[in-house]
Structure 1
Amino acid sequence: MVKEIWFINQYAVTPDLPGGTRHYDFAVELVKSGLAVRIFASNVNLATRKYERDLADRLWLEQPVEGIFFEWVKTSLHRRNDWRRVLGMFNFSWNVYRAGLKQGVAPDVIIGSSPHPFAALAGCYLARRLGCRFILEVRDLWPQALIDMRGLADKHPLVWLMRRVEQQLYLHADQVIVLARGSIPYLKEKGVAEQRITHIPNGVYPGHCAPRTTREQTRNLFNFNRFTIVYTGAHGPANALNVIMEAAGELNGEPDCEFILIGDGPVKPDLQAQARKLELKNLRFLDPVPKSKIPDLLHAADAGIITLKDAPAFYEAVSPNKLFDYLAAGLPVLCTAPGDVAQMVKRYGCGLISPPENGKALAEQVRTLAALTAEQRALMSARERRLALEHFSIPKLALKLLQIINDNDQ
Structure 2
Amino acid sequence: MKILLVDYDAGTTILGGDTHAYDLAVEWKKCGGKTLIAAADYSYLRHKNPEKTDYGQIEEENGVSFLWIKTPAAADREKKILRGALPFEKGLRRNFPLIADWKPDAVLLSSRHLLGSRGAARIAKKLDIPLLCDVRRIYPEHLREVLEYAPRHYLLHLFSHTQKAMYQKSCRILSVYPRLGEHITAFGEDAGKFLAVPQALPRVFSEAHKPPQRHMDFVRRYQEKGNFICLAGGQIEQDQQLELLIEAAALAPRDVLFLLVGNGMFKPNLKREVKQRALTNVLFLDGVNPQQWLDVYRTADCLYVGLPPYRWHQYGADTTRILLAMASGVPVLCAADIPDNPVEAAGCGKIVPPKEPKALMQALEEIRSMTAQERKSMGERGEKYAAKNADVSCQSAAYWSALQTAAQEQKDKRRQKEQKNPARQ
* Alignment partners' CA distance in 1, 2:180 and 2:39: 24
Residue identity in the other structure for 2:308: K
* Alignment partners' CA distance in 2, 1:100 and 1:295: 41
The equivalent of 1:314 in structure 2 is 313
Residue identity in the other structure for 2:321: K
Alpha-carbon offset, residue 353 of structure 1: 1.3
The equivalent of 2:423 in structure 1 is none
Alpha-carbon offset, residue 42 of structure 1: 4.4
* Alignment partners' CA distance in 2, 1:65 and 1:302: 39
Give 1:33-72 correspondences, 5 Å limit.
Answer: 33-44=31-42, 46=44, 52-58=48-54, 64-72=60-68
* Alignment partners' CA distance in 1, 2:129 and 2:337: 38
* Alignment partners' CA distance in 1, 2:296 and 2:117: 33
Select the structure with the greater relative contact order (CA < 8 A; seq sep ≥ 6): 1
TM-score, normalising length: structure 1 = 0.83
The equivalent of 1:258 in structure 2 is 258
Q: Which structure: larger Rg? A: 2
For the structure 1 residues 9 and 255, does the alpha-carbon distance in structure 2 shift closer, same or farther, using more than 3 Å as the test?
Answer: farther
Say whether residues 1:13 and 2:5 are aligned partners: no
Alpha-carbon contact 1:17-1:291 (below 8 Å) kept: no
* Alignment partners' CA distance in 1, 2:154 and 2:344: 40
Give the 3-state SS of the residue equivalent to 2:134 in structure 1: strand
The equivalent of 1:286 in structure 2 is 286
* Alignment partners' CA distance in 2, 1:117 and 1:381: 37
Give the 3-state SS of the residue equivalent to 1:383 in structure 2: helix
Alpha-carbon offset, residue 312 of structure 1: 0.6
Say whether residues 1:143 and 2:144 are aligned partners: no
Deviations, residues 335-393 of structure 1 (Å, cap 9, x unaligned):
1121225x432232121111113344333333332332211121112211221233332
Residue identity in the other structure for 1:297: V
Give the 3-state SS of the residue equivalent to 2:115 in structure 1: helix
Alpha-carbon contact 1:179-1:199 (below 8 Å) kept: yes
Alpha-carbon contact 1:60-1:72 (below 8 Å) kept: yes
Say whether residues 1:107 and 2:108 are aligned partners: no
* Alignment partners' CA distance in 1, 2:56 and 2:331: 41
Give 1:201-216 correspondences, 5 Å limit.
Answer: 201-204=198-201, 209=206
Give 1:79-158 correspondences, 5 Å limit.
Answer: 80-81=76-77, 83-88=78-83, 90=85, 93-94=88-89, 97-98=92-93, 100-101=95-96, 102=98, 105-149=102-146, 150=148, 152-153=150-151, 155-158=152-155
Runs of 5+ unmatched residues, structure 2: 410-425
Give the 3-state SS of the residue equivalent to 1:306 in structure 2: strand
Alpha-carbon contact 2:8-2:115 (below 8 Å) kept: no
Say whether residues 1:354 and 2:352 are aligned partners: yes
* Alignment partners' CA distance in 1, 2:326 and 2:306: 16
Alpha-carbon offset, residue 136 of structure 1: 0.4
TM-score, normalising length: structure 2 = 0.80
Alpha-carbon contact 2:59-2:66 (below 8 Å) kept: yes
For the structure 1 residues 367 and 11, does the alpha-carbon distance in structure 2 shift closer, same or farther, using more than 3 Å as the test?
Answer: farther
For the structure 1 residues 173 and 189, does the alpha-carbon distance in structure 2 shift closer, same or farther, using more than 3 Å as the test?
Answer: same
For the structure 1 residues 212 and 147, does the alpha-carbon distance in structure 2 shift closer, same or farther, using more than 3 Å as the test?
Answer: closer
Runs of 5+ unmatched residues, structure 1: none
Alpha-carbon offset, residue 212 of structure 1: 5.1
Alpha-carbon contact 1:180-1:317 (below 8 Å) kept: yes
* Alignment partners' CA distance in 1, 2:91 and 2:242: 33
Alpha-carbon contact 2:70-2:88 (below 8 Å) kept: no
* Alignment partners' CA distance in 2, 1:246 and 1:92: 45
For the structure 1 residues 388 and 344, does the alpha-carbon distance in structure 2 shift closer, same or farther, using more than 3 Å as the test?
Answer: closer
* RMSD of aligned residue pairs (Cα, Å): 3.4
The equivalent of 1:188 in structure 2 is 185
Alpha-carbon offset, residue 72 of structure 1: 4.9
Give the 3-state SS of the residue equivalent to 2:303 in structure 1: strand
Alpha-carbon contact 1:209-1:328 (below 8 Å) kept: no
Give the 3-state SS of the residue equivalent to 1:378 in structure 2: helix
Deviations, residues 264-296 of structure 1 (Å, cap 9, x unaligned):
3x4344334444444544231423x44333333
Alpha-carbon contact 1:243-1:357 (below 8 Å) kept: yes
